[in-house]
Amino acid sequence: MLAGLMYDATDPALLKELARGRGLSHKYNQLDPSDETAGRALLKELLGKTGKNFTFIQPFYCDYGSNIEIGENFFANFHLTILDEAKVTIGDNVFIAPNVSIYTAGHPVDPDERNTLVEYAKPVTIGNNVWIGGTVTIVPGVTIGDNVTIGAGSVVVKDIPSDCVVAGNPCKVIRKIR
């Protein structure tokens, strides 16, 4: 799965890890939002790597959790969803608006192959100093550079260079900022 090859999504070892990740994110979402100590502890247990300063506003959804790495000064607003069948690496000073989805999992286009429940996964990388607007969708295999602003409602289907404002479906460079 992590190598980007086709894999059986019903593999018992994967289902066990999936249950762990979803269970921890469910526990996190059930916490009183004022219990920051318990929330941080659960997120540190769930995620593969965190910086010292990070905030997730509930609810937060993920599959495995262990494939997610976040840098310093990370902020995610309501309803962040990360399907982390492959690694999701997020840099420092990244701010994510409500209802953002980051997907690493994909499915075959051929319906006969898709119905066998095989999948593939491609990593997503997000650089430093990135603002992701509300209801943005990021698809498998995308790399987003540093110093990027992504407009609300965008669908990011290919790599985004550093130092720009992007928006749209599909997402395109609107202007360079440096």
No. of helices (H) and no. of strands (E), the chain: 3, 19
Return the closest-CA partner of residue 156 out of 98, 108, 109, 100: 100
Q: For residues 32 and 47, what is the distance between their CA atoms, to the nearest angstrom? A: 20
20, 40, 87, 107: which one is catalytic? Answer: 107
154, two tokens: 């965008």
Q: Which 3 state secondary structure label does DSSP give 73?
A: coil
Q: Scanning the structure block, which residue is given the tokens 């190598």? A: 3
Can 107 be counted among the known catalytic residues?
Answer: yes
Task: Please enumerate in sequence order all residues whose Cβ is within 8 A of that of 136, keeping only pairs 6 or more positions apart, or say none.
Answer: 97, 100, 101, 150, 151, 152, 153, 154, 155, 156
- Catalytic residue numbers? 107
